[in-house]
């Protein structure tokens, strides 16, 4: 077994700089927060730059299919930066979940348009779906797809939906244009407004079956890859929360001292730093293990989700608490991170779910 | 691998080959073989030539160890001489003169010198810099008087790393000096210190007019604090690695073997700790990748902190998992183990021994201060004794 490289290459660092600069210019917290009062606030320009101009929508797609031929190592760096900026871009739903599902089926047409960023796609499952067996709630009717899927990430802004469908011989995978006749996409009001969710209803919708018999594997692979990469987003969220809190407690004075000089806070920050560092190593291990196609990828993904999802929430909660009153205000960006962290904790399975699944994987039966 | 790395790797292969050709590993006397290995620069490859190394990155050590182990070569007694290998050697390498490195590294490596650590005192635990053991200059020697405590392996040690006060008239950190002390000196008295497990892994050491040559002074007079920090950073790394993984393995084995012990609430707790053991292992692995060469920084403190929390939580859960069997203990007789063993013996022993993990080598509270101040840049603790001469401190 090759040893995992848990560090970042120079290329990965350069990629990080590029993405961080983009978000610093065009995804400032004061802009992101407007989404809570104006859900239609338009960030498609940022996404277009990220996806098409920088070519990052195709990171996981081979060059022969118009992608960048990179791996989860690079995609993880992008996810970290998305987490740091709570950027409202559909990278996870389009460039990871929908893309990986299509890649696994051998579909190429939609895949090419997702990879070059001209089209945005969404894997039509509830965002809270954990990796493992997925039971479709959409079926093939006499005149098209029928059914309903709730809480689908970025469904209302996607051009194409990649839909797991229950067919006569098991799971199928179909593509559907969001604007097709018989489609009804109803935006829900999410806890985390930076990752929109919508309920999708299919009433006899014409679709294209694309799975080539590999729908089960395709959905499983997409969820596994999503779980791996979500951990990196959680690390990015946690890092922002820790760094911002550190900056604040060094400046904020009470009782004539910086509040960061009190052990009641600094010891908790030392513990949090250790947790965030561990989350970083763990998410990196999962990304590297997936990229190398190691046999224990499912375990690495489970460990990363079981750990990083709780650490991001802990970091965001500490961020609010250690800021005191200011942390509770609408104006201060801490709440954006708490909402993203808490939603991310539920996305693709809770830590409880991942621990239960890991118990099976490492043979600790109940 | 770059061209340079390939060149180093093949040079090391050649040296290993020569060593094995000249000293048939199966027949060689272990000390003689280890001496030859040291002289060939294959002991710790990152050390300078002539001192057991070749001045190449530490990452190449693994290759050498693997090749020699595969050939069945005698291995250095790293576990039996943990203080020597983990703490004394890196400190001697960092602060020793050429002469000192020549005198002390080879006997340490081949197992002639087992080391112990004379740092903590009854009145100087977390506030180690306030220690009171005095060293007074007498010609070419120092005369040392005082009492040390928590000294593991003192009963087996030939040498000790020692920090003593050489100047009581300056603030506490400035008046310390670091020595290599001969434990066979007649003024050294070692008494076992029994701990809550029943055994005496540690000792109290009484120093009465112990004579230490000035040639054994490591670093400058008054520089003892800086030298000791190197030792302590290495200590924290030495304690940190691998233990939680081994401990959780014991719990997992019991879970698999004894279905009657299982309980759904415990399974989630077990998985939580299994996941944390794995994340701690990966954090340690990443730290190693970051520090492939050079001295460990204060980040090593974090590993110790993680270890202590985990070993205590795992061993606490393990006791509850065993239920009735957890009511029993294996042996209360006073033993004097040569090797510190966090994971051997029974669950009761593991539970009790783990309590020391958050105290030894810096309490978890001190380590949180270290991380907060030296890694995160948070304001330091208020220190009222910083500018006062040691002799004038309230006691």
> Closest chain A residue to B288 measured between Cα atoms?
A6
Residue B369, min C-alpha distance to chain A (Å): 7
For residue A355, the chain B residues in CB contact (below 8 A) are: 268, 271-272, 275
Residue in A7, A281, A358 closest to B282 by CB: A281
Residue A262: strand pairing partners: none
Residue B42, min C-alpha distance to chain A (Å): 23
Is residue B235 domain-shared with residue B362, that is, in the same domain?
Answer: yes
Is residue B123 domain-shared with residue B215, that is, in the same domain?
Answer: yes
For residues B161 and B144, give the distance between their C-alpha atoms in angstroms, rounded to a whole number: 13
Q: How far is CA B160 from the centre of its chain?
A: 13
Q: Do A278 and B278 touch (CB under 8 A)?
A: no
In-domain check, residue B392: no
In-domain check, residue B367: yes
Active-site position among B121, B204, B235, B318: B235
Is residue B106 domain-shared with residue B120, that is, in the same domain?
Answer: no
Side-chain half-sphere of A217: how many Cα atoms within 13 Å?
10
Q: Decide if B92 contacts B50 (C-beta within 8 A).
A: no
Is residue B51 domain-shared with residue B154, that is, in the same domain?
Answer: no
Sign of CA dihedral A303, A308, A313, A315: positive
pLDDT in tens, A157-184: 999 999 999 999 999 999 999 999 999 9
pLDDT in tens, A120-157: 999 999 999 999 879 999 999 999 999 999 999 999 99
In-domain check, residue B391: no
For the question of residue B235 being annotated catalytic, the response is: yes
Q: What is the pLDDT of residue A1?
A: 43
The 3-class SS string of B91-124 reads: HHHHHCCHHHHHHHHHHHHHCCCCEEEECCECCE
Give A138-214's CATH code, choosing from 2.40.110.10, 3.90.1150.10, 2.30.30.30, 3.40.50.720: 2.40.110.10
Is residue B206 domain-shared with residue B298, that is, in the same domain?
Answer: no
- The residue segments making up the domain with residue B162 are 115-221
Q: Do B286 and A7 touch (CB under 8 A)?
A: yes
Q: Do B306 and A269 touch (CB under 8 A)?
A: no
Which residues of A sit within 8 Å Cβ distance of B? 4-7, 246, 249-250, 257-258, 260-261, 263, 266-267, 269-271, 273-274, 277-282, 284-285, 303, 306-307, 352, 355-356, 358-359, 362-366
Sign of CA dihedral B315, B320, B321, B327: positive
Give A216-361's CATH code, choosing from 1.10.3720.10, 3.40.630.40, 3.10.180.10, 1.20.140.10: 1.20.140.10
Q: What is the CATH number of the domain that holds B341?
A: 1.20.140.10
Residue A360, min C-alpha distance to chain B (Å): 10
> Closest chain A residue to B253 measured between Cα atoms?
A364
**What does pTM read for this prediction?**
0.89
Per CATH, the number for A10-120 is 1.10.540.10
pLDDT in tens, A13-63: 999 999 999 999 999 999 999 999 998 889 999 999 999 999 999 999 999
Domain termination site, one of B87, B110, B133: B110
> Closest chain B residue to A265 measured between Cα atoms?
B372
> Closest chain B residue to A250 measured between Cα atoms?
B378
Is residue B157 domain-shared with residue B260, that is, in the same domain?
Answer: no
Mutation target vs A (from B66, B321, B378, B379; most A CBs, 10 A cutoff): B378
Which residues of B sit within 8 Å Cβ distance of A? 252, 255-256, 259, 262, 264, 267-268, 270-272, 274-276, 278-280, 282-283, 285-286, 289-290, 299, 302, 305-306, 365, 367-369, 371-373, 375-382
Residue in A270, A277, A355 closest to B372 by CB: A270
Mutation target vs A (from B271, B292, B366; most A CBs, 10 A cutoff): B271
For residues B171 and B162, give the distance between their C-alpha atoms in angstroms, rounded to a whole number: 19
Q: What is the pLDDT of residue B292?
A: 66
Contacts of A324 (CB under 8 A, 6+ apart): A252
Stretch A335-356: mean pLDDT, rounded? 98
Per-residue pLDDT of chain B (395 residues; tens, 9 = 90+): 577 888 999 999 999 999 999 999 888 899 999 999 999 999 999 999 999 999 999 889 999 999 999 999 999 998 889 899 989 999 999 999 999 999 999 999 999 999 999 999 999 999 999 999 999 999 999 999 999 999 999 999 999 999 999 999 999 999 999 999 999 999 999 999 999 999 999 999 999 999 999 999 999 999 999 999 888 776 654 445 678 999 999 999 999 999 999 999 999 999 999 999 999 999 988 888 887 655 566 777 788 899 999 999 999 999 999 999 999 999 999 999 877 778 889 999 999 999 999 998 889 999 999 999 999 999 998 888 888 999 999 87
Q: How far is CA B187 from the centre of its chain?
A: 25
Is residue B176 domain-shared with residue B305, that is, in the same domain?
Answer: no
For residue A153, the SS3 value is: strand
Q: What is the CATH number of the domain that holds B214?
A: 2.40.110.10
Alpha helices by DSSP H, listed for B176-298, are 224-240, 243-257, 264-290
Is residue B33 domain-shared with residue B79, that is, in the same domain?
Answer: yes
Is residue B260 domain-shared with residue B295, that is, in the same domain?
Answer: yes
The strand pair at A144-153 and A138-141 is best described as antiparallel
Is residue B138 domain-shared with residue B238, that is, in the same domain?
Answer: no
> Closest chain A residue to B379 measured between Cα atoms?
A261
Tokens 């039996």 belong to residue: B80
For residue A360, give the DSSP letter.
H
- So what's the ipTM on this one? 0.93
Domain-by-domain residue ranges, chain A? 10-120, 138-214, 216-361
Strands (DSSP E) contained in chain B are 115-118, 134-138, 141-148, 159-165, 176-182, 188-193, 202-213, 217-218
**Residue with more model confidence, A288 or B293:** A288
> Closest chain A residue to B373 measured between Cα atoms?
A266
Q: Decide if B202 contacts B156 (C-beta within 8 A).
A: no
Q: Do A261 and B381 touch (CB under 8 A)?
A: yes
For residue A270, the chain B residues in CB contact (below 8 A) are: 302, 305, 367-369, 371-372, 375-376
Q: Do B379 and A269 touch (CB under 8 A)?
A: no
Number of domains in chain B: 3
Is residue B238 domain-shared with residue B293, that is, in the same domain?
Answer: yes
Is residue B244 domain-shared with residue B179, that is, in the same domain?
Answer: no
Residue in B285, B367, B378 closest to A260 by CB: B378
> Closest chain B residue to A243 measured between Cα atoms?
B376
Nearest to B178 by CA among B192, B161, B194: B161
Q: DSSP letters of A255-269?
A: TTEEGGGSHHHHHHH
For residues A312 and A240, give the distance between their C-alpha atoms in angstroms, rounded to a whole number: 10
What value, to the nearest 5°, has the Cα angle with vertex B343 and ends B338 and B349? 85
For residue A269, the chain B residues in CB contact (below 8 A) are: 372, 376, 378
For residue A365, the chain B residues in CB contact (below 8 A) are: 256, 259, 262
Q: DSSP letters of A222-273?
A: HHHHHHHHHHHHHHHHHHHHHHHHHHHHHH-EETTEEGGGSHHHHHHHHHHH
Q: Do A261 and B380 touch (CB under 8 A)?
A: yes
In-domain check, residue B103: yes
Mutation target vs B (from A258, A282, A307, A318; most B CBs, 10 A cutoff): A282
């Amino acid at each position: 077994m090759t040893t995992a490289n848990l560090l970042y290459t120079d290329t990965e660092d350069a990629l990080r700089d590029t993405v961080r600069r983009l978000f610093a210019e065009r995804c400032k917290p004061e802009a992101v927060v407007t989404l809570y009062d104006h859900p239609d606030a338009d960030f498609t320009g940022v996404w277009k730059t990220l996806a098409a101009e920088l070519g990052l929508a195709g990171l996981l797609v081979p060059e022969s299919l118009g992608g960048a031929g990179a791996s989860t190592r690079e995609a993880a760096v992008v996810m970290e930066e998305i987490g740091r900026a709570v950027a409202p871009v559909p990278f996870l739903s389009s460039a990871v979940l929908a893309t990986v599902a299509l890649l696994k089926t051998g579909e190429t047409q939609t895949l090419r348009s997702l990879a070059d960023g001209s089209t945005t796609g969404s894997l039509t499952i509830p965002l809270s779906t954990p990796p493992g067996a997925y039971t479709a709630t959409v079926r093939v009717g006499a005149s098209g797809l029928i059914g309903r899927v709730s809480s689908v990430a970025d469904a209302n802004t996607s051009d194409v939906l990649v839909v797991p469908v229950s067919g006569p011989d098991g799971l199928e995978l179909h593509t559907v244009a969001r604007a097709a006749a018989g489609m009804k996409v109803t935006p829900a009001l999410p806890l985390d407004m930076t990752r929109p969710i919508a309920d999708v209803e299919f009433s006899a919708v014409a679709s294209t079956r694309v799975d080539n018999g590999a729908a089960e594997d395709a959905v499983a692979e997409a969820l596994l890859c999503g779980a791996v990469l979500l951990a990196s987003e959680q690390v990015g969220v946690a890092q922002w929360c820790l760094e911002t809190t550190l900056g604040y407690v060094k400046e904020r004075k009470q009782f004539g001292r910086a509040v960061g000089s009190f052990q009641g806070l600094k010891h908790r920050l030392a513990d949090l730093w250790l947790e965030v560092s561990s989350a970083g190593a763990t998410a990196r291990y999962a990304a590297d293990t997936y990229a190398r196609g190691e046999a224990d990828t499912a375990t690495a993904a489970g460990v990363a989700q079981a750990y990083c999802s709780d650490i991001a929430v802990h970091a965001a909660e500490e961020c609010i608490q250690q800021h005191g009153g200011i942390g509770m205000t609408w104006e201060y960006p801490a709440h954006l991170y708490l909402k993203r962290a808490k939603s991310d904790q539920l996305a693709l399975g809770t830590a409880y779910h991942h621990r239960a699944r890991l118990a099976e994987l490492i043979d600790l039966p109940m | 691998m770059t061209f340079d790395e390939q060149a180093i790797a093949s040079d090391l292969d050649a040296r290993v080959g020569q060593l094995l050709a000249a000293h048939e590993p199966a027949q060689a006397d272990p000390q003689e073989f280890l001496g030859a290995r040291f002289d060939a620069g294959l002991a710790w490859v990152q050390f300078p030539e002539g001192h057991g190394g070749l001045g190449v990155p530490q990452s190449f050590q693994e290759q050498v160890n693997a090749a020699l182990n595969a050939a069945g070569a005698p291995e250095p007694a790293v576990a039996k001489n943990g203080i020597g290998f983990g703490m004394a050697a890196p400190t001697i390498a960092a602060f020793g003169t050429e002469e000192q490195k020549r005198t002390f590294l080879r006997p340490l490596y081949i197992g002639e010198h087992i080391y112990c650590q004379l740092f903590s005192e009854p009145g100087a635990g977390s506030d180690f810099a306030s220690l009171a053991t005095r060293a007074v200059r007498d010609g070419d020697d120092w005369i040392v008087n005082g009492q040390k405590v928590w000294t593991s392996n003192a009963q087996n040690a030939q040498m000790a790393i020692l920090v003593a006060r050489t100047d009581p008239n300056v603030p506490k950190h400035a008046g310390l000096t670091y020595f290599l002390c001969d434990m066979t000196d007649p003024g050294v008295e070692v008494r076992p210190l029994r701990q809550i497990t029943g055994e005496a892994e540690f000792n109290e050491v009484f120093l009465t007019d112990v004579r230490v040559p000035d040639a054994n002074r490591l670093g400058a007079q008054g520089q003892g604090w800086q030298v000791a920090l190197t030792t302590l950073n290495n200590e924290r790394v030495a304690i940190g690695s691998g233990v939680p993984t081994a401990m959780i393995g014991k719990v997992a084995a019991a879970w698999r073997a004894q279905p009657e012990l299982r309980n759904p609430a415990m399974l989630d707790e077990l998985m939580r700790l299994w996941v944390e053991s794995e994340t701690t292992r990966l954090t340690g692995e990443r730290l190693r990748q970051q520090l492939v060469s050079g001295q460990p920084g204060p980040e090593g403190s974090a590993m110790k902190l993680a270890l202590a929390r985990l070993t205590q939580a795992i061993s606490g859960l393990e006791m509850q998992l065993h239920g009735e069997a957890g009511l029993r203990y294996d042996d209360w007789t006073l033993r004097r183990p040569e090797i510190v063993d966090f994971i051997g013996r029974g669950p009761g022993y593991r539970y009790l021994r783990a309590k020391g993990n958050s105290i030894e080598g810096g309490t978890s509270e001190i380590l949180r201060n270290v991380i907060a101040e030296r890694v995160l840049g948070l304001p330091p603790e208020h220190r009222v004794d910083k500018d006062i001469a040691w002799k004038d401190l309230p006691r």
